[in-house]
Amino acid sequence: MSIWKLLHHPDQVGDINERACAGISEFVEIIKRYRTLFSKSLPMNETLTRLIKELKLAEEIYRQEKNPQVAKLRVENQQEILNSMTYYLEQYDSPSLSGFIQRVSLNDDRPDKTIRKTSWRAMRSP
């Protein structure tokens, strides 16, 4: 069974408490909603911004990271990813989330490495 299918039925996995099951179910619903939003007409960078805000990613980074300077860099990395996505949207006629992910991946062998360099730097630091 795939992880995605297991996530739809966390209560069947074993020793997962009710609170964790609820959190997993909420996560699955967020993924479903944003999968739809990323395929709609709203620009992907706006959708990604909404997702980051809904997940309260910056707050969570600051909560978990003990070093405030490292936390700040990680939050700034979010902006770098958004900048890369904006650049991608400006450069390609038929942008898609899968196309963006492919271009930031290390497996992309296209000559324009600007998107990949910026995104990879943001994802790996610190």
The Cα 47–Cα 39 span in angstroms is: 10
Tokens 């949207």 belong to which residue?
89
In whole angstroms, what is the distance from residue 75 CA to residue 58 CA? Answer: 6
Give the position of tokens 């910026």.
118
- Structure-token pair, residue 67: 């070093």
Q: What is the pLDDT of residues 56-108, one digit of tens each?
A: 999 999 999 999 999 999 999 999 999 999 999 998 888 888 888 888 876 65
- Span 19-52, pLDDT tens digits: 998 999 999 999 999 999 988 877 899 999 999 9
126 is written with which tokens?
């610190």
Task: Decide: 6 and 14 in contact? Cβ < 8 Å.
Answer: no
Beta carbons within 10 angstroms of residue 85's beta carbon = 26
CB atoms near residue 110 (< 10 Å): 9
Residue 78 near residue 123, CB atoms below 8 Å: no
